[in-house]
Amino acid sequence: MKFFRRHQHTIYQGSAHVGKDALRLVPLGGIGNVTKNMYVYEYRVDGKLRDILLVDCGVGFPDAEMYGVDLVIPDVRYLSDKRDKIRGLVFTHGHDDHIGGIPHIYPKLGRVPMWGTKLTAAFANIKLKEQAIRTQVQPVDFGQELHIGPFTVSFVRVTHSIPDASNLIIQTPIGIFYHGSDFKFDFQPLDGKRSEIEKINAVGRRGVLCLLTDSLGSERRGFTPSEQVIGETLEKELSMCSGKFLFTTQSSNISRIQLAIEIALKHGRKIAFLGRSIDQNTEASLKIGYMRFPREAVVRDRDLKRLPPMKQFLVVAGAQGQPGSALSRIANDDHRFVHIEEGDSVVFSADPIPGNENSVSALIDELYRKGARVAYSNIMEDLHVSGHGSQGDLMLMLSSVGPRYIFPIGGTYRHMMQYRRLAQDLGYDKRDVLIPEEGEILEFRPGMPPKVVQTLELENVMIDGLGIGDVGEIVLRDRQTIATEGIVIVIVPMEKSTGRVTAEPDIVSRGFVYMRQSEELIGKAKRLVMESLKLRKGRIIDWQFVRKQISGNLDEFLARETGRHPLIVPVIVEV
């Protein structure tokens, strides 16, 4: 399907201070990567910062090299000296890559008012409550306008893989920005609420300075299929299941969960929810009327043993193979109430997030070993459809908005570049499609093309357990070394009162060599350590120097003997 660029000339609703006003766009996440979305809109007059509007505050997920890291959040150091200028934070929808960072980042922002559509606010408030943060995201309706400093924000309903997803119309003193976060055009959405195309067309007629647009599906032809196609596949799978039926998807995808529940009830099955995220999201959705099913159809996990397997329909968290999730514990026979048996079926209605493929594959293998029938998108169509628009959806949005400039977001660099090619097919010059590198700040001025005015040094802020930002590149490098080369610990006994080495050092190897089969190597290493300690010269004062000497000498020796570079950790034990 071919679309044509509608607006050759855009009318801007700008300030009278032509040339003095400026709008800076600062992406702290969400460009060049799919997750960790956070955008800063800055209004400036005569070069001075007046007001800031924040859009989204998401998390990213660790890649294979981030050993032990749970989540990655945006680097907000840029905002640390600008807190008094932040007028508000608006969320586009309730996925973790748009709201998940808020409990970790809100304390760094000050008492910032926050808004989101009803379901978005409900999900964000769950996360704030979990961290005992005593504030709330305020729910808004789609017909509501927010006046936040010099910004006027209105919400456009769009279809996505979660209800209440919105794009934002952001009116600024220099022009209108359309923040087109994740969307597709589903003309048969499960909740019956279609994208507000007329509202999109209307803002296009007013004139849009810049369209920020989802670009993740820019490589796929046509339009993204409707969620409705999943229902037929679920019906078929359920009719063939003689035992328990386990259904797993993203816990935020409540429309799909609602669809699955309706099919299960039609087949006379009882529903059980397994996993904290599933429990919390369904409960919140029920309270505000976004899910509907009879309470008596739900059973507690502890009561499942009194229910025949063929009457059980389990909605289970863990579609991404997360260790410790309900599905992972079930697959590994570590769940108190659910065990996989012959005749059970497990349906994955989600594709792995990039980086999770191995975890999901291992989980599927384990479920097969336990005797389950497993259905997933690699072997069966129509178990999952993307929430992101394909080329047809993206070009329909672009044609409707007709912006002066385009800024692809929410995809990798290749998705952004492919979007540029699509825009060129609609008549845009490649210079009109802005593709900044991570950390580059774009400045818009009336009557002038946008330009990069500053580049930030952004870092991945990693969350490991309760620690936020205390895992840096050095720690990651050590973890990578341990994972690939192993660790060698050198234990040196020292007399506390005199500072003298009292005995031969000990060496412990983990993940490097098996010590019982490497006695000769370990013996040579001990002698090398003793030489580094210079025992005959008596008391050792500069232990920092000695540690470096031990590490350097031992690393060189082990590399020569084995071709490997384990992490070497000298430890002084006072006796």
Interhelix angle for 413-425 vs 391-401, to 10°?
60
Nearest of 523, 530, 521 to residue 561 by alpha carbon: 521
Catalytic entry in 98, 160, 179, 388: 388
Strand partners, 373: 345
What are all long-range contacts of 283-288, with beta carbons under 8 Å and residues at least 24 apart? 284/119, 284/122, 284/123, 284/126, 285/119, 285/122, 285/254, 287/122, 288/118, 288/119, 288/122
199 vs 4: CA distance, rounded Å: 19
Report the alpha-carbon distance of residue 117 to residue 166 in Å, rounded. 8
Whether 56 is a known active-site residue: answer no
CA dist., res. 203 & res. 549, Å (int): 68
Which DSSP helix (H) or strand (E) runs through 572?
strand 567-574
Burial 255-293 (b: 16+ CB within 10 A, else e): bbbbbbbebbeeeebbbbbbbebbbbbbebbeeeebbeb
The one-letter amino acid at 373: R
Among the listed residues 165, 135, 134, the one whose alpha carbon sits nearest the alpha carbon of residue 290: 165
Helix (H) or strand (E) holding 524: helix 519-533
81 is catalytic: no
102: number of CA atoms within 13 Å, CB side?
A: 38
Pairing assessment for the beta strands 114-117 and 138-140 based on DSSP bridges: parallel
Reduced to 3 states (helix: H, G, I; strand: E, B; else coil), residue 147 is strand
Q: Is residue 426 classed exposed, middle or buried when 0-12, 13-18 and 19+ CB atoms within 10 A define those classes? A: middle
Name the one residue in this structure whose structure tokens are 């193979």: 321
Of 214, 344, 393, 464, the active-site residue reads: 214
Residue positions annotated with a catalytic role: 214, 388
